[in-house]
Structure 1
Amino acid sequence: MTKTVIVLGAGSGFGLAIARAFSQAGAHPVLVARNPQRLQTLTEQLHMEGLAADWIAADATDPEQTASMFQQVTRQFGRPQTLIYNVANTTLDGPLTTPTPQIQQRLNTNVIGAITTSRQFLDLAPTDLPRNILFTGGGAAHHPDKTTTTLSLTKAALRSYTLSLADAFHGTNTYVGLITIQGIAGTSEAMRPANVAQVYVKAVNTRSTAEIFYPGTTANSPSEFDQLRKLSANPDQLHDFLASHPSAATFIQNHPEFLDASDPSH
């Protein structure tokens, strides 16, 4: 029986890499996100690599769309055995500036969508076979600061829910895990999407730990954000680093306020 893996939040970074890693391991990934054109492009890329994959467009924050997606997956590929919730709004902000409706929207994306889709998945997944739910967490859950307020609070809420859900299914054939990513994509060899993706494959194979930290085995200190800020103290070092790590350069370009908070001790 082909194991169907739903990758919810399948973008061109970690999402695509996760789908590729599972397909290479013999599973059948279904890429899910809002943009059908992007999904088709990503799926065709995997097909060109000789890998099995399909896609379905759905908004993770719309329960009707995700319910329809799960039904379509079941009709076409059988009941899925693994759900990966890789959806996140990672916008940076401070504790006093973001309008509360925007905070609510990000909470819906980062947490409520995870709760809803995991419940829908559990209603469909076969109970007589091992089934897996993996959530993408982040180091911000452990290191809140004045530039990561909403990201930190939503990742902390997601962490709390995941660990509660894992406890509820402890000792059963349902594995629930949180992959706490402690870095920014492309900023090191460890943070290459292909290497991060292998953590997800290993997690469903070992099915032993509710929270998996990566890189490392515990919450890092200083955080990935403080590590990046420290580079800003030396403009030449920062320039060289960003030149060789385009993902980090894009992050800084999109969040110019990030380096303004250059004192990691606050």
Structure 2
Amino acid sequence: MTKTVIVLGAGSGFGLAITRAFSEAGHHPVLVARNAQNLQTMTEQLHTEGLAADWIAADATDPQQTAHLFMQVTRQFGHPQTLVYNVANTALDGPLTTPTSEISQRFDTNVLGAITTSRQFLELAPTDTPRNILFTGGGAAHHPDKTTTTLSLTKAALRSYVLSLAAEMAGTNTYVGLLTIQGISGTSEAMLPANVAQIYVKAVKDRSTTEIFYPGTTANSPSEFEQLRKLTADPVKRHDFLASHPSAAAFLQNHPEFLESSGPSR
């Protein structure tokens, strides 16, 4: 029987790569995000590659939309086996600048959405049915930085919830995994989306470790942000590095304040 995987946060980067990896492994992924046109385009791209996939538009922070999503998936494909929560607002900010209303919105996206959808997912099938819930974490949870304040606090809160949920589900047929991704997309061979995506498929196959660090097996030191600072500190080397790493260039273009920072707060 085909195993259905719901990928919440199916964007064109890691989300699409995760979807492709599961499809290549014989699963039936369902891409989920807010933008229907983007979802349709990505699904058609996968179909041209001979890969199975479907899509449903839904906002992961809207409980009514996600409840309808789960009902629709169950009706069309049966009980899904795996939920991947890959939704995140990764905007950078400092500890004194972001309005608390914006922090609240990012918390809804990065944490409350994960809590709500995981509970809804668990209500779909009997507890003796093998299921998997994977959450995309980040190195920012372990390395607070003055340019990643809200990202760090929300990823830390997500990590806390996932570890608690894993303890709650211990001894059942539900595997809960936190994929702590310690890098910025495209900055190295390991951080190519296709390589990162394989960790999700392996986690579902192994169903053992709760927190999986990638790259590496423990929390990075220095953090991915400090690594990027070192790689771009020299203007000449920065030009060459960014020319060969377009994802990192896009990151810095979207976050110009990152290069203006002199380093982490002490």
Category of TM-score, reference length = shorter chain: over 0.9
Which amino acid in 2 is paired with 1:228? L
Q: What is the Cα deviation at residue 230 of structure 1? A: 1.3
CA distance in 2, matches of 1:263, 1:51: 44
Q: Equivalent residue of 1:259, what SS?
A: helix
Structure 1 residue aligned with 2:204: 204
Q: TM-score, normalised by structure 2?
A: 0.98
Contact 2:147 2:264 in 1 (8 A): no
Which amino acid in 2 is paired with 1:14? F
Unaligned runs of at least 5 residues, structure 1: none
1:1-266 alignment runs, 5 A limit: 1-264=1-264, 266=266
* More divergent stretch after superposition (106-115 vs 230-239): 230-239
Unaligned runs of at least 5 residues, structure 2: none
Contact 1:131 1:174 in 2 (8 A): yes
Contact 2:3 2:27 in 1 (8 A): yes
CA distance in 2, matches of 1:47, 1:166: 35
CA distance in 1, matches of 2:142, 2:169: 24
Residue deviations 1:23-78 (CA, integer Å, cap 9, x gap): 00000000000000000000000000000000000000000000000000000000
CA distance in 1, matches of 2:13, 2:148: 21
Q: What is the Cα deviation at residue 238 of structure 1? A: 1.1
Contact 1:233 1:262 in 2 (8 A): no
Q: Equivalent residue of 2:137, what SS?
A: strand
Q: Equivalent residue of 1:40, what SS?
A: helix
Q: What is the Cα deviation at residue 265 of structure 1? A: 6.9
Q: Equivalent residue of 1:186, what SS?
A: coil
Q: What is the Cα deviation at residue 247 of structure 1? A: 0.3
Q: What is the Cα deviation at residue 233 of structure 1? A: 2.4
CA distance in 1, matches of 2:46, 2:80: 20
Contact 2:179 2:200 in 1 (8 A): yes
Q: What is the Cα deviation at residue 262 of structure 1? A: 2.8
Residue deviations 1:203-243 (CA, integer Å, cap 9, x gap): 00001111000000000000000011112321111111100
Q: Give 4+ residue runs of structure 1 displaced > 6 Å after superposition.
A: none
Number of matched pairs: 266
Q: Equivalent residue of 1:5, what SS?
A: strand
Q: How large is the RMSD of aligned CA atoms in angstroms? A: 0.9
Contact 1:33 1:58 in 2 (8 A): yes
CA distance in 2, matches of 1:154, 1:265: 18
CA distance in 1, matches of 2:53, 2:157: 31
